[in-house]
Amino acid sequence: MEVLKTIILIIESGLLAYLGLAALYFLIFALASHFYKEKSKVKIEKKSKVAILIPAYKEDNVILDSAISAMQQISKNAELKVWVIADSLKPDTIDKIRNSGAGIIEVSFDKSTKAKSINYALNNLPANFDYSLILDADNIMQSGFVDRLIERLNTGYRIVQGHRTAKNSNTGFAFLDGLSEEVNNNIFRKGHRVLGLSASLIGSGFICEFQLFKDLMKKVDAVGGFDKELELLLLKDKITIGYAQDAIVFDEKIQQADAFMNQRRRWLSAQFIFFGRNIGKGLPELFLKGNFDYFDKLIQFVIPPRIITLGLSFTIAFLYHAFLLFSGFENASSLYFLWTGLFLVSSLAVLISIPSKKYNLSMLKSAISLPNGFLLTLIALLKLKGANNQFIHTQHNINKL
């Protein structure tokens, strides 16, 4: 019995330390995000040529609106050309996109991936573009989006992530997904830039030097999470990823439970796979090359999702509370306070990362989806095997803002 207690204590201590470090990581960058300031604008001497690439895999429901919206984007600092990379779109949809004035690049693969589509397009586009701008098939750019990205590029960056935000909040899951996006923007983008680290790429709504992007994408063969592989390549070359908080692009948020779990499964699988592939490079990059940006990205890959940290710490603290209440066994009190403290730190990191405008009745109503979101993310963690063997597509349905 004593041996079993010792084993349980060791496991619990390890879990507590792991989640505790994650909570502290979130809190540090959440606090830093409140000191974020955009870099001063600089005078732009000449117009850039920007290729806007929109990979679309079976996205007939949304791609036409997104293509038309992209065509309507006006820039004073750039000449824009929109290209839809059409993978498995209906002939009628392709005709309508052509009629909108957008370019069409048709692709077909035995196993479709976003990386394959983008690489095909880059290899078949003229080489006279200055920048590539990547959008998802459901993305809608706010007016002035491109100009704000160009302004950031002209302050010294070679790649800049825009501010992706929710297009819809029509279900509890959609609201929570949008809330999570904003928390990520604060912790992994604003907070990181304040402390001198690269902003995290999302996979859409970012702009990059055309040739740099083309050269790096040749090395990317990810089934899922191409942005994570691209990030690692950038950080290994010590290329800082900028962020433009005022460059807004709208993105459809997950509406249903099954789509939520599939999305998290895809994200988590990509994170753990890239962590496994690159962990051996992390310490040499840090200690031999001083590349803390690269090492920090590996930390991001291995820490648990916030909802897991919150859910587990709350559940274990609650169980300890119930145990103390009914048994009076005081030896468990220290562990109860540790788990409760962990939950409070995790909660604080999230709460101070939520924009003030999100504190409304909808946020309270969506809270009912939190336990379900925790369970679905936990299930996604347990079902990672095979998730990276094929592209897991998230179906989009929202056409308009």
Question: Measuring CA to CA, which residue among 165, 85, 138 is closest to residue 354?
Answer: 165
Q: What is the DSSP secondary-structure string of 178-219?
A: HHHHHHHIIIIIIHHHHTT-PPPP-SSSEEEEHHHHHHHHTT
pLDDT in tens, 96-118: 999 999 999 999 998 889 999 99
Over range 182-193, report the average pLDDT.
96
Q: Are strands 103-107 and 131-134 parallel, antiparallel or unpaired?
A: unpaired
**What three-state secondary structure class fits 319?**
helix
Q: In the chain, pLDDT over 90 holds for what percent of residues?
A: 60
For residue 329, being part of any structural domain is answered with no
Integer angstrom CA distances of residue 281 from 148, 234, 267, 301, 397: 35, 14, 21, 14, 40
- On the question of pLDDT at 399 being above 70, the answer is no
- Residue 95: per-residue pLDDT: 95
381 has pLDDT over 80: no
Average confidence score pLDDT of the chain: 89
Residue 290 within a domain: no
* Residue 88, token pair as written in the block: 């498995």
**Cα–Cα dist 184/200, whole Å:** 9
What is the pLDDT at residue 294? 93
Number of domains in the chain: 1
> Using an 8 Å Cβ cutoff, are 165 and 177 in contact?
no
Which structure tokens are listed for 397? 């349905």
Measuring CA to CA, which residue among 1, 23, 3 is closest to residue 307? 23
Q: How much is the average pLDDT of 133-155?
A: 95
Q: Is residue 116 part of a domain?
A: yes
Instruction: Judge whether 370 lies within some domain.
Output: no
Domain span at residue 72 reads 48-270
**Would you say residue 292 lies in a domain?**
no
Across the range 208-223, mean pLDDT stands at 94
Q: What is the mean pLDDT of residues 136-158?
A: 95
Residue 95 lies in a domain: yes
Residue 208 pLDDT > 80: yes
SS3 239: coil
Taking residues 187-199, what's their average pLDDT? 97
pTM higher than 0.85 for the full model? yes
- Across 225-234, 258-267, 392-401, the highest mean pLDDT is recorded for 225-234
Res. 346: pLDDT tops 90? yes
Residue 139 sits in a domain of what CATH number?
A: 3.90.550.10
- The answer as to whether 43 is a domain residue is no
Determine, yes or no, domain membership for 55: yes
